[in-house]
Chain A
């Protein structure tokens, strides 16, 4: 059994009187430890696919089994728990809490996992160490550079030891040098055995992955092995 099994995944929305078919039947299997890039022009359904993979949304039809659990029909609060335990998110705009320190930001998923304060602190510190930010734990986001903020976000994504890491245009708000550093960090996470999904429209970013899934009109056009 693969870590991720997606079968005939479909998603459609009502937009006014029209029905928009964002995903028209996607099949995909991803093994543990794989590094997958998802590409496609806007409107190809890659955001929708990412939302479904991240359990932020449920499919209209089809099946999605993550780590032996069928998450395609789960209720909202159960999905929240799956997100908390299985998925680490990295967003293009970092999405850190401005009022909280780096450490508090990284602790947040553990708060919702019900982890006690002491353990939360030590695990968050370890996670910040992994992204080389041990000297920035008490800094607030506005005291950090873009690259540092994104590394805090990665530490937050890792702190719960999730099954998969989902990064949505992780280098989109970074300059090319820090972007390259960040991709290096993702590479090293991959080497340590993490399963990674990166959504990007940049070929250079996608090339870091083992396979590139090209979406078009809500379907997989090609899967390319790098």
Chain B
């Protein structure tokens, strides 16, 4: 142990007294770990953001029914858009009526439109119409005022809950409650303001207006396909509820057994899965880049360690004369190469976080630290030091003390 500490101290001392050489030696490690940490930190940040976005959109405990499901094939998507009928309120009723496992079904429709208040206006704001069951879904809430009541929804009352961003931009500090905003050309009384959600990938999540579905249809028409959100009684019963929903819709739409579903069904997990499949491609490329820089880095380290062994032939001979066994010498050289390599890794970790933070500052891409990536960076560079230090270490251990001492 004390031998290891001695070797460690020696290694740090040697690194410090040859700063430039050490830096060049571990450049491969630094590049490798910097890229791992930077990419992983950004992907982790995006994962969290995307996860949040999807959950706030679809809810963690609900699944969605859309006209077109998640299709990655462009032709198939086009065909589904042409052939699948619109989702209607009858579909919602069918799903709700069929299954006992379903707690609530809401229908919603979203359209971009103009919102104005006293001459101030916001173009292309998200206008969302919701059916009365929306109240059962966790992703709706207000910070001030109240939600739209189911009765108001049923009676298609001109009331609205506005997002924090809409309140901020249209009212500029004025209290929005009970004021009338105009959506397209119709007046709506503001009854509630949502809490601030922030931005994801630079896009504000707070610029929306929620109105009763019927009121929405008065503005934008009834020909738009709805989206359904279905909440099972028991979050664990998601799959059963989804199967029931498929059966309910197939019966309602009178599909023959051979016909495919003409609607799409997915959960937030499905979307997250797609996202993760996409990012795993980035990881695959990353592994290639990292492996390459680590091998290059390892070879450079091996080269430098061989040089160090030659440089210290006399010292190694002396140590052997004083009683160092072969394994003592092996450990000494290994400790040094592992330390050198790991210091490179540590520098890479710091640089990687720096790069990720800089990107987070300069672009909308978020960053989040994944602790495992730090462990990975240290572990990998330590491993490289061990593997590529082994040959120099064994060569040092094989030196004969006489030869080593004789050398000038």
Contacts and interface: CB of A to CB of B under 8 A. Distances in A.
Interface in B140-158: none
Contact of B10 (A56, A57, A99): A99
B216 interface: no
B402 A57 contact: yes
B164 to A, nearest CB: 63
Contact of A81 (B2, B13, B314, B323): B323
A111 interface: yes
Interface string A70-108: 000000110011011100010100010101000000001
B2 A99 contact: no
Contacts, number: 57
Contact of A80 (B10, B323, B405): B323
B405 A111 contact: no
A54 B326 contact: no
Contacts of B277: none
Given A99-B10, A99-B13, A156 B402 contact: no
Contacts of A97: 315, 318
Contacts of B328: 112
B322 A89 contact: yes
Interface in A30-84: 51, 54, 56-57, 76-77, 80-81, 83-84
B321 interface: yes
A121 B327 CA distance: 24
Interface string B309-338: 000001100111111111110000000000
B269 interface: no
Contact of B323 (A51, A109, A116, A117): A109
Contacts of B325: 76-77, 80-81, 112
B184 interface: no
A80 B320 contact: yes
Contact of A84 (B6, B13, B323, B402): B323
Contact of A83 (B2, B10, B322): B322
B251 interface: no
A113 interface: yes
Given A51-B402, A91-B405, A95-B314, A111 B2 contact: yes
Interface string B325-358: 1111000000000000000000000000000000
9 contacts: A56-B400, A56-B401, A56-B405, A84-B323, A89-B322, A99-B10, A99-B13, A112-B323, A156-B322
